[in-house]
Amino acid sequence: MAIGLDQKQQIVAEVNEAAASALSAVLADYRGMTVAEMTEMRVKARESGVYLRVVRNTLAKRAVEGTEYECLSESFVGPTLVAFSHDDPGSAARLLKDYAKEHEDLEVKAVAIGGQAFGADQIDRVATLPTLDEARAMLMSVMQAPIVKLARTLNEVPGKLVRVVAAVKDQKEAQGD
């Protein structure tokens, strides 16, 4: 089924818009997956803030021109599924990594983050990136640690004084007996 020029331009514009606001991208070969499996993956992608689309390679190459995902142009070979993360950088990688475990037909081709393309073997590194909430929690614990340590140290001074006074009291009581 041939698509017209207007539809092609619309697809390119939509993918370009998704790429422009994305934090990371993952390309995968979806050959062999059933329609039900693809539908299930699309539902999970929507829930996790991932833009997922099957795009012709020529249209995908045009769509990523001028974005930081232009580095993926060489990876647009064969049937390609494009996933862009919008909420956190690792969400698309986590989604496709989980599906690749369950469905042997899904094969990750490339991963891109920050304008750099990586091979499929690097998907674990991107998938383990913390979510925004996890990153904030880590940052807050790092920022809070020196303050907590200072408070404990300052609290220890009166505690030591009380223990010394109690020891002197016990010693004087023992001498008095």
Mean pLDDT within 112-139: 77
Q: Which two tokens stand for residue 91?
A: 């969400």
pLDDT at 177 over 70: no
Predicted confidence (pLDDT) per residue in 69-90, tens digit: 888 878 888 888 888 888 788 8
pLDDT of residue 57: 82
Torsion of CA 33, 36, 40, 42, to 10 degrees: 70
Q: Which two tokens stand for residue 84?
A: 């862009």
Question: 3-state secondary structure string, 81-127?
Answer: EEEEECCCCCHHHHHHHHHHHHCCCCEEEEEEECCEEEEHHHHHHHH
pTM of the model: 0.68
Predicted confidence (pLDDT) per residue in 7-56, tens digit: 888 888 888 888 888 888 888 888 888 888 888 888 888 888 888 888 88
Query: For residue 120, what pLDDT band results from cuts at 50, 70 and 90?
Result: confident
